[in-house]
Structure 1
């Protein structure tokens, strides 16, 4: 069977992008809470330890609390139904569906329950974006399967994968972003006159982090929850040192 190429970092349709400024601002608000240079872990070697950082006396406890406090706010998933699809038939039969005439030729479905967007390709590959979390993404997949079965397709549920998640964390303290930027200028982007959050490109795990002045943080492009926890392990000691 022919397969669609769907790499979430390189070939994601425009409406599915996780790193657009409007999308990140939306995630920051909902949680109530340009290229970037790459680097290696040596760039973070001077992060103060708990014993030498006066602002981090209670860091072990606070760090563990932070790792429990984050909330997944966005998930991307892909799967295959195992058969080719007639896009016009799908578009006519499924509510809130429209044909996408861009290079990502497929049917876009705006779902309301759960709230998310899906891209259906003629090869039977389906991408789900905008789901609130992994559970909502799975629910959306099964809703689509039921709708395609109702049309008459003998669909299966193959190669389901949550390929990317974003998570929000409220640090509950403001951060001196200009000072943070000066310290880590080689791996940060910060243009407050254009976009208020500082963008921190963490090398390991490979996650892009949006840090707002009030201490609300969005972790994007994580492959799983383990990556989020690892990123908090690295970033929390850094951000504590720039607490206002």
Structure 2
């Protein structure tokens, strides 16, 4: 399984003057008539911020939680360096969503997947979307299953949530005979 994107939020101050931040922070974009937040991107590690007048920040695009922490702390220091005052020294960072991918490396009959998984937590409308949408109750994640054997997991708050979601789908596919249990474990380990 590979983590593709981590989305987290925090609050860095009681309020921000977004016009001042845009004027002082190279590359910052604030078009209030189009979107109520300022957009700011960083390259190392790669991430993007949505900064709001309320002092709230949404960070997206990082590949792991440690990178999220690092870029948020760096942003706080950068804001202090351009004269933004009252930045919180220890902001609480809350992971909102993790998106991950996995590959069972086997072609799947999606009609068989839908029938085997049961209709209550599964959606499949091939005219609108080429994958099966599986809503896993525990952990609470959504797993998109494609005929190529590739998966996209979203909604996890931890990497473990995403891994467990993949395992729930793997077990379901094994129980239906769509994956062999010994081969799929090797394939997941190599994914």
Identify the TM-score tier after normalising by the shorter chain.
0.7 to 0.9
Unaligned runs of 5+ in 2: 181-191
What TM-score, normalized to structure 1? 0.65
**Measured at CA, do residues 168 and 102 of structure 1 come closer, stay the same or move farther in structure 2, by a change above 3 Å?**
farther
- Counterpart residue number, 2:17: 86
**CA deviation vs aligned residue, 1:58-93 (integer Å, no higher than 9, x gap):** xxxxxxxxxxxx221110111122342111011122
Distance in 2, matches of 1:198 and 1:86, equals: 44
Contact kept, 8 Å, 1:106 with 1:119, in 2: the verdict is: yes
Alignment of 1:216-231 (within 5 A): 216-231=150-165
The answer for the alignment partner of 2:178 in structure 1 is: 242
Give the aligned partner of residue 36 of structure 2. 105
Of 97, 109, 131 in structure 2, the residue corresponding to residue 164 of structure 1 is 97
Q: Tell me the SS of whatever aligns to 2:130.
A: strand
Contact 1:100–1:108 (CA under 8 A) maintained in structure 2: no
User: Of the candidates 108, 111, 130, which is equivalent to residue 175 of structure 1?
Assistant: 108
Alignment of 1:14-93 (within 5 A): 70-93=1-24
TM-score by structure 2 length? 0.81
**More deviation in 87-96 or 181-190?**
181-190
Decide whether the 8 Å contact of 1:115 with 1:131 is kept in 2.
yes
Distance (whole Å) between structure 2 residues aligned to residue 149 and residue 76 of structure 1: 23
The CA deviation at 1:233 is 3.2
CA distance in 2, matches of 1:178, 1:168: 21
Distance in 2 separating the partners of 1:72 and 1:87: 31
State the Cα deviation string for residues 210-237 of structure 1 (Å, max 9, x = none).
1111111111010112312332332211
Answer 1 or 2: higher relative contact order, Cα 8 Å, separation at least 6: 1
SS at match of 1:148: helix
Superposition deviation, residue 192 in structure 1 = 2.4
Residue segments in structure 1 that go unaligned for 5+ positions in a row: 1-69
- Provide the aligned C-alpha RMSD in A: 2.1
Which residue pairs with 2:189 in the alignment?
none
Distance, in Å, in 2 between the alignment partners of 1:120 and 1:79 is 10
Aligned equivalents of 1:204, 1:102: Cα separation in 2? 41
